[in-house]
Amino acid sequence: MRDSFGSKFGTLVAMAGSAVGLGNLWRFPYLVGENGGAAFIIVYILLGFLICLPIFVSEFIIGRRSQKNAFAAFRDLSDGSAWRWVGLFTVIVPLIVLSYYSVIGGWSVEYLIKSLTFSFTGGSSRAQISTMFSGFVSSTWAPLGVHTIFLLTTTVVVMIGIKDGIEKFSKVMMPLLFVIVLTIAIYSVTLPGASAGIDYLFHPDFSKIDAKACAAALGQAFFSLSLGFGTILTYASYASKSDNIMTQSASTAISDLMFALIAGVAIMPAVFAFGIDPQSGPGLVFETLPYVFGQMPAGGVVAILFFLALLVAALTSSISMLEVAVAYLMEEKKFSRLTACITLFVICWIVGALCSLSFGPLSHIKIDGGNLFDFFDSLSSNVLMTLGSLFTVLFVGWRLKKTDIYDEFTNGGTLSANAKMFGVLWFLIRYICPLAIIAIFLTNLLS
C-alpha cells in the first residue's frame, strides 16, 4: 500500500518544511530592505495570495486527485497524453536544485561545527572571517565532506518513509526551527542600535515599487513556496482526501511568510546594530553574520542557534526535493525505497560535488560568466521553476475538467466555503496566473 501522511498537521508541517528554507533566511530579508521595506512586503503578500496561492492550490489538486508521483499524475489525469513529459520535467528539476542546495546545506553543517567550537567568538576582523569563508569554499575536501553529511542525512530521512521519516522529522524540526528563529529575533531587537535594522526592513518606500520589484517579489515567492518543482504536488499525493486544500495551502503560505518576516527581524537589527551594510545570499549568512556574532554579547550561543536553524531549514527543504524522484522511481520503475534513495544519492552527490568544486579546483569552468553552481542556481530559479509553474497552471486551467477540479477542491461539494470561492480561484488559475508568470519571465529576460 502507498505510504501517506498520518494527520493534517503532519501534512502541514511537511509542506511548511519544504517551503521554509534558505530562501527565507538569506534572501527575503535583503530583498525587502532593498526594494522598499513595508511597501515591498505589501506587494509580496498581494502577489503571493493572488498568484502563488492559486498555483500552490493547483499543485495540491493535481497531487491529491491522482495520488501518484508527479510523472504519473500528469500522465493519468490527461489520459496518457504528452503532458506526462511535463511530469517528468518536474521530477528532474528538484534533483538539480537538490544537488547544489546540498552544497550550501553542507556549508551550514561546517558553520554549525565551527560555532560549536566557538570559532566566531575570538573577535576576528571582517577580513579574517571572509578569508575563512573563501578559504573553506575553495578547498577540495572539506566542502565535499560536509556535502556528503548533508545529503546522507536527507537521504536517510527519506529512506525511512513518509509517515515515519518525513512527517516525524518535520513535526520535531519545524517547531524547533520556529522557537530558535523567534528567540534570536527577540534577542536581536533588544540590541542597542537595532532600530536601524527595523527601519531598513519596514520603512515603506513606495517609490521603489516598479516592474522589477514586482518581478523580484514574485520570483522570491515562487522559490519560497517551492512552486513548480513537483514537491508540493508529491506531498499532496500523500495527503488525506478529507483535508481542506484551501486551508492547508493558505496555512503553508502564511507559515512561510511568518518565518520570512521573523528571520528578517532576527537578522537585520543585529547587522545594523554593528553598523554593517547588509548583503544577500551566502555573503550575509557566512561572512556578515559570523562577524556580528563575534561582536555581540552571548554571540557564541546565538551562532550555534542560528546555524542549527539554517541547517534544519535546509534539511526539511532538501528532503522534499528528494522525495519527488523517489516516488517516481518507486512507482514507475519499481525500485524499492532503499534502492531509489541510494541511486538518487549517488546522482545528486556527483552533480553536487561538481558544484562544490566549482568554487575551487573547477572555478575556471565558466558558463554564461558564472561558475557551475551559479549556472544551476540561476537556471533553476529563473527558468525551470517558472516553466514548471506555468505548465502546472495551464494543466489545471486548460486541460483538466472543471468539474473534477471543483470536486477535488470542495471535497465532493462538502466544503461550502471552498465552493463559494471556486469561481475566483478558477479565474485566477486560468487567466491571471499564466499571464503573471509570462510577465515575470519577460521582465527578467529584458532586465
Q: What's the CA gap between 238 and 230, in Å, rounded?
A: 13
By the criterion CB under 6 A, which residues form the site for ligand PFF? 18-19, 21-24, 94, 97, 223-224, 226, 229, 231, 317, 320-321
Least separation in angstroms between residue 319's CB and ligand PFF is 9
Q: Which is nearer to ligand PFF, 21 or 37 (CB)?
A: 21
Q: Which is nearer to ligand PFF, 223 or 238 (CB)?
A: 223
Least separation in angstroms between residue 313's CB and ligand PFF is 7
Are the CB atoms for 8 and 167 separated by under 8 Å?
Answer: no
Q: Which is nearer to ligand PFF, 19 or 292 (CB)?
A: 19
Q: Which is nearer to ligand PFF, 106 or 360 (CB)?
A: 106
3-class secondary structure for 162-231?
A: HHHHHHHHHHHHHHHHHHHHHHHHHHHHCCCCCHHHHHHHHCCCHHHCCHHHHHHHHHHHHHHCCCCCCH
Least separation in angstroms between residue 388's CB and ligand PFF is 9
In the bound state, the residue with its beta carbon closest to ligand PFF is 21
Least separation in angstroms between residue 433's CB and ligand PFF is 18
Residue type, 341: C
What cell does 103 get?
Answer: 552544497
Q: What's the CA gap between 374 and 434, in Å, rounded?
A: 27
Least separation in angstroms between residue 170's CB and ligand PFF is 13
Q: Which is nearer to ligand PFF, 347 or 365 (CB)?
A: 347
CA 334, 65, 383 angle in degrees (round to 5)?
80
What cell does 368 get?
Answer: 554564461
Least separation in angstroms between residue 20's CB and ligand PFF is 7
Q: Which is nearer to ligand PFF, 320 or 371 (CB)?
A: 320
Q: Which is nearer to ligand PFF, 273 or 440 (CB)?
A: 440
Least separation in angstroms between residue 260's CB and ligand PFF is 8
